[in-house]
Amino acid sequence: MAISLIRNRLPRRFAPHNDTFKKMAKIIPFKAVRPTRGKANLVASRSYEDYSPAELGAQLDFNPYTFLHIINPGYKYQQEIDKETRFKLVKNRFQEFKEEAILIEEQTPSYYIYKKSNDKHSFCGVIAATSTEDYKNGAIKIHEETIASREKLFKNYLNAVGFNSEPVLLTYPDNTTIKSVMDKYANERPEYEFSTQDKHTHSLWIVNNTEDIQQIEKAFKNMEAIYIADGHHRTASSFLLAEELKAQNKNHTGNEAYNYFMSYLIPESDLQIYEFNRLIKDLNGLTKEVFLIKLDEIFRIQNRGLQLYKPSKKHHFYMYLDGEFYSLYLRKTVFEITNALTDLDAQLLYTTVLKPILGINDLRNDTRIAYSHGKNDIIHVKQRVDDGEFKVAFGMVPATIEQVKKIANEGLKMPPKSTYIEPKLRSGLTIYEF
């Protein structure tokens, strides 16, 4: 049975632009609202969703400085509150932190060099304000489709609270000029330096020297494109808000703070990309035997038994079913690679197995599928199947930055949960106010 794949036909958000002119990324310094030196380690928090209920309660009970008090203001009243009220209270808590001088505003526009490191890896990049217009004109390239309802929700949140506390993760080709500036500051005392319970060290330097600022800004201007690594919805929401406020402002100049969003830009060589494993609750009414026969039409299958098998290269997968691991090697004679997207393992698995055999059409909303990122070891996936929570699981090798860029350059979109990208950033270390 031959499988023919066609080009992704998702609608483009914006009309194509004439590529005869060079798009330039506009990355500028800004006056961050940030914690005082002595309170940075107490203010900075992980993403709200990253805390267990017990951890969240402990932080809110015993740390009066945590940024969680700002983004979870209902805790003060020990009750659930509606979105509109919550947004107003978030703004109130933010103003209280400023009034109490827990948070202070930078005196001059600055870049911020932020480094996150442990004994295995180090991430170092520049926190800056990035033009929303570049999202429209293609200087910022995307690889993930967004959901309109989520864009609107976060746009309304930003409009109500007036600040952004979590930078969008952007990546750029390694650049010697930017690296030389970052290396220079690495030899100086940071404004912040503290460790967190996950054994990471966090360091932040303020770049307000005119010459250093000009070098960084010029280096980004000379880049043809930068890429969103993580934060497509936040970027889209910032763009929507800029368009809305622009329409409301009769004296709009393009220099207003709402024309930018906060970003953390790191070189491509610093990115760490992990895969997402797929866990499925049933075999779509098929017996195990029939299911394996259908897979055999597309893959060379080998039963690995109890061996904790993981694939080592593109177009190879593992499957865990009924207490046994299987290796699946794509039969390329029955599969046509037509573009960068069809070459992506997450898309390939969806097109050959999840949709036609297991009947999963909507990867975002189908309750029969769940995801486990590749930082969780294979035992984690095996255990969830063994416990009966899921019937079968699939795994693959991570996508590469080259694949991500190629998909973005071709104007295509990855399926959801194609990549789990690090670094994951703390909230509250630098805040962009507009």
Cα(67)–Cα(177) distance, integer angstroms? 34
Which residues of the chain are under the pLDDT cut of 50? 1-21
How far, in Å, CA of 326 to CA of 306, rounded?
A: 9
Tell the burial category of 146 from Cβ atoms under 10 Å away from its Cβ (0-12, 13-18, 19+): middle
| Residue range 276-418, CATH number | 3.30.1760
**Phi/psi-derived region of residue 75, left when phi > 0, alpha when psi is between -120 and 50, beta in every other case:** alpha
Element housing 407 (H / E): helix 401-409
The residue type of 76 is K
Long-range Cβ contact pairs of 248-254 (< 8 A, separation 24 or more): 254/133
Domain boundaries, the chain: 27-273+422-433, 276-418
- Please enumerate in sequence order all residues whose Cβ is within 8 A of that of 30, keeping only pairs 6 or more positions apart, or say none: 106, 109, 110, 128, 129, 257, 260, 262, 432
If one counts every other C-beta atom within 10 angstroms of the C-beta of residue 352, the result is: 23
SS (H, E, C) 67-96: CHHHHCHHHHHCCCCCHHHHHHHHHHHHHH
302: tokens are: 């080998």
In the structure encoding, which two tokens stand for residue 327, read together? 């290796």
Pairing state of beta strands 122-131 and 111-117? antiparallel
Question: Which residue has tokens 């997450």?
Answer: 346
Amino acid identity of 112? Y
Q: Which residues pair with 114 in a beta bridge?
A: 125, 204
Strands 226-230 and 140-141: parallel
What are the backbone angles phi and psi of residue 306, rounded to the nearest 5°? Answer: -90, 0
CB atoms near residue 346 (< 10 Å) = 23
Backbone angles phi and psi of 23, in degrees to 5:
-80, 140
Alpha helices (runs of H) in 100-231, residue ranges in sequence order = 132-137, 148-161, 176-186, 210-221
- Please report the pLDDT score of residue 207 as a whole number: 98
> CA 250 to CA 115: how far, in whole Å?
41
Tokens of 30: 């800004």
State the pLDDT at residue 2: 39
- Cα 143 to Cα 413: distance, rounded to the nearest angstrom: 5
CA–CA dist 316, 275 (Å, integer) = 13
What three-state secondary structure class fits 332?
Answer: helix
For the entire predicted model, the pTM comes to: 0.89
Strands in 216-293 per DSSP E: 226-230, 260-267, 272-274, 276-280
pLDDT of the residue at 385 = 98
Local structure of residue 186 (DSSP, 8 states) = H
Angle at 321 between CA 315 and CA 325, to 5 degrees: 60
Burial 36-67, CB ≥16 within 10 A → b, else e: eeebbbbbbbbeeeebeeeebeebbeeeebbb
